[in-house]
Each structure stands twice: as C-alpha cells, then as structure tokens.
Amino acid sequence: MITLYGIKACDTMKKARTWLDEHGVAYTFHDYKKDGAPSAELLARWCDELGWEKVLNRAGTTFRKLPDEAKADLDQARAIALMQQQPSMIKRPVLALSDQHLLGFKPELYATHLS
C-alpha cells in the first residue's frame, strides 16, 4: 500500500494528491495535523534512506522561527525530535512506496516510480 504523508492544506501536497488521483494511484493519506506526527522509528527510516538534512525542512517558517539554540548543533537525533514536536518541519510530501520513499513532489519522479 502507498501512503502519502503531509499536511492537507499545503499547496505542494495538493499537487501531489491531484497527480495521484488523476493517474488512478490508490493511496492512503496521513495528515500530520489530523493523524499526528510520524513515529520516531518511521522518521529514522526516512532519515536513514533520504538523509535527515533533506527530510528536515529548514527553509520553512516553522524551522526559521525556532530559537537559535534549537537550530544549533543539529544531528539526526535532534532533527527527529524537532520533527516529532513540529511535523510541519518535515519536507512535504513523503510518498511511501513498498520499497522506498520519495521526498517532495516532482511529476516526472512520480511517473517513473508509479507507472
């Protein structure tokens, strides 16, 4: 089963959901606001596979508003703790396929992996 992780109101999420729907791809949607943050174990798997530096969205408003001491000396464990506390810091979307995860939305990447 394919799972799409993110926040319903996010514009990039809307594009990903529209693409999946238009291409007849069955998926489950996990909304961080409604369903909660991913577990530390799941976030660790994403970080191990994709790199915590990519999974943690440092360009977003939520991260930028953190105090400097919270942003200092980041490593994977601290990044996971931040993302669990504030799931809006997770780059969106995360598309969980049976054997891998796709981060962000790129139509050509979705087409390659879902055709």
d(CA 85, CA 66) in angstroms, rounded, equals 12
Of 4, 5, 6, 10, which is the active-site residue?
10
**The pair of three-digit structure tokens given for residue 29, joined into one six-digit string:** 């949607």
Answer for the pair 38, 90: CB distance below 8 angstroms, yes or no: yes
E runs forming strands in 2-115: 3-6, 28-31, 94-96, 101-103
Is 10 annotated in the active site? Answer: yes
Nearest C-alpha neighbor of 91 from the set 49, 45, 46, 56 = 56
**What residues contact 100, with CB distance under 8 A and at least 6 apart?**
49, 113
Q: Where in the sequence numbering do the catalytic residues fall? A: 10
